[in-house]
Amino acid sequence: MTRTLVISDIHGCITELQALLRQMAYRPDADRLLLLGDYVDRGPDSRAVVEEVMRLVRGGAEALRGNHDQRFVDLMLGRPEHADKFVKHGGLQTLQSYGITELPEGPADPLLAEKLGAAAEAVRSRFGDHLAFLDSLPHYAEDDRHIYAHAGLHPQYTPWHEQPLREFLLVREAFLPHPVTADRTVVFGHTKTVDIHGTPEVWFAGDKIGIDGGCPFGFRLNGLEITESGAYAVHHVLSSCRWVLKD
């Protein structure tokens, strides 16, 4: 029987990802594995997570793009519009995992542009395949019952798949409290479920299923299992990551 297994917002937590795949007894030859983005930033080893995701995709898994992945790629490929957000939201941990030692002290570092430029050059020269992989990832996946996207669907766009990339990566307020206009259930990450309903458990809301367990913040990495009959089961691994947002 074919299962669909869905994981999102790994954020550099390689140990938790590998443990969750073992717990879910993932079988590449029988299961459909969907990863909903945000592989980098905050956690201890973004590079290892990207390498693992690349390996999984070579074996048949499907990986979508998240907003953190997009920002990392943009910065490394010389599109630095959001450099301050990259630094503030865990990007330095990503650079450390790629062997960068000359790091900005924070978003206000007067040498921010210079240090990030040097880091980008180093990452491009050594890990261009990682950047090309992340830059090639699709924005959504689907089946007969579900639409899978990193952040969700903005209800104003019909048909839904024509919404801008920004909405696939970032939509929140326009999505969470409003009915889905598509005719399927949307499975998404991006917004921690603890921020939606006060617990890191998977959020089931009829036409939406939120699975971001807040792994880099010390909560959990969730895995959603969907059986061939459409039944749901939830798996999780408690997180050992403890990233804190600093102003």
Domains and CATH numbers, the chain: 4-139+211-238 (3.60.21.10)
188: left (phi over 0), alpha (psi -120 to 50) or beta: beta
pLDDT at position 183: 93
Tell me the pLDDT of the chain (247 aa) as tens digits: 589 999 999 999 999 999 999 999 999 999 999 999 999 999 999 999 999 999 999 999 999 999 999 999 999 998 877 898 999 999 999 999 999 999 988 877 888 889 999 999 999 999 999 999 999 999 999 999 999 999 999 999 999 999 999 999 999 999 999 999 999 999 999 999 999 999 999 999 999 999 999 999 999 999 999 999 999 999 999 999 988 876 5
pLDDT at position 200: 98
109 CB-near residues (< 8 Å, 6+ apart): 87, 115
pLDDT at position 108: 78
Cα separation, 83 vs 187, in Å, equals 29
pLDDT at position 1: 58
pLDDT at position 81: 78
Contact 41, 97 (CB under 8 A): no
Give 226: exposed, middle or buried? Use CB within 10 Å, 0-12, 13-18, 19+: buried
Is pTM, for the whole model, over 0.85?
A: yes
pLDDT at position 68: 98
pLDDT at position 246: 67
